[in-house]
Amino acid sequence: MRRRTLLRSAAVAATIGGTGAMAASGNRDGRETTTDGQETTTERRETTAEGEETTAGGGGEFALTTDAWENGETIPTRYTCEGENVSPPFSVSNSPEGTEAFALVMDDPDAPNPPFVHWLVWNVPADARELPENLPPGETLGDLGGAVQGANGTGELGYIGPCPPVGDPQHTYLFSLYALEAPLDLAPGAEYQQVVDAVMGNAIARSRYVGQYARSAETTTTS
């Protein structure tokens, strides 16, 4: 039986940085708030299309975490255009029952033409508990079970770190991990909207990790 939640439209809106009528959105401290201002967490009761109730985290809260920075705090320079521009390490815990794969979307809703896409990776194996640091660019990731990468905002495949315009206040970067009930049938290099549409047709649950970054006025490096 395919487990489909009634929160997918909200997840789409949150992923693309939308506000207004969406049911839940990420705020700058990494928590999520409903439109009436009440706080919630990724672990919540969900209702499937068959009317069954489930929790996003099963035996615990479905979580994407990193030791590189605190949720909602500044992303270390190493992972940005001012540093080595390598992908950060992440841990995955408490994936929901029925998870067959994961997809990760990183975007910047504060970009001049939002969202700017920093990373698209999908078909990460369901038993993966780590996303290693410094995953290489390219179509697939052999060190991550053959996971597939899409096109970032520069048109390249793989990760590109935060690099907001000089003088901008801190930008918010959303790392959204989706538990999928089936792998995505997408070719390497797929673009943002293709990936989002495919993810929303398969998502069981979502966990989000948030980072902030602003470039120093002295920096002239571009992405």
pLDDT: which is higher, 114 or 202:
202
Instruction: List the CATH number of the domain containing 201.
Output: 3.90.280.10
> In whole numbers, what is the pLDDT of the chain averaged over residues?
79
- For residues 5 and 203, give the distance between their C-alpha atoms in angstroms, rounded to a whole number: 8
Per-residue pLDDT, 216? 82
Q: What is the pLDDT of residues 6-25, one digit of tens each?
A: 344 344 344 444 322 222 33
Q: Are 182 and 123 in contact (CB under 8 A)?
A: no
Q: Is residue 37 part of a domain?
A: no
Region label for 92, one of left (φ > 0), alpha (ψ between -120 and 50) or beta (otherwise): beta
Q: Is residue 78 part of a domain?
A: yes
Q: Is residue 41 part of a domain?
A: no
Q: What is the pLDDT of residues 101-155, one digit of tens each?
A: 999 999 999 998 889 999 999 999 999 999 999 999 999 999 899 999 999 999 9
The answer to whether residue 77 scores a pLDDT higher than 90 is: yes
pLDDT: which is higher, 71 or 45:
71
Once rounded to an integer, what is the mean pLDDT over residues 30-53?
33
Per-residue pLDDT, 172? 98
Q: Is residue 13 part of a domain?
A: no
Q: Is residue 192 part of a domain?
A: yes
Per-residue pLDDT, 27? 36
For the chain, the domain total comes to: 1
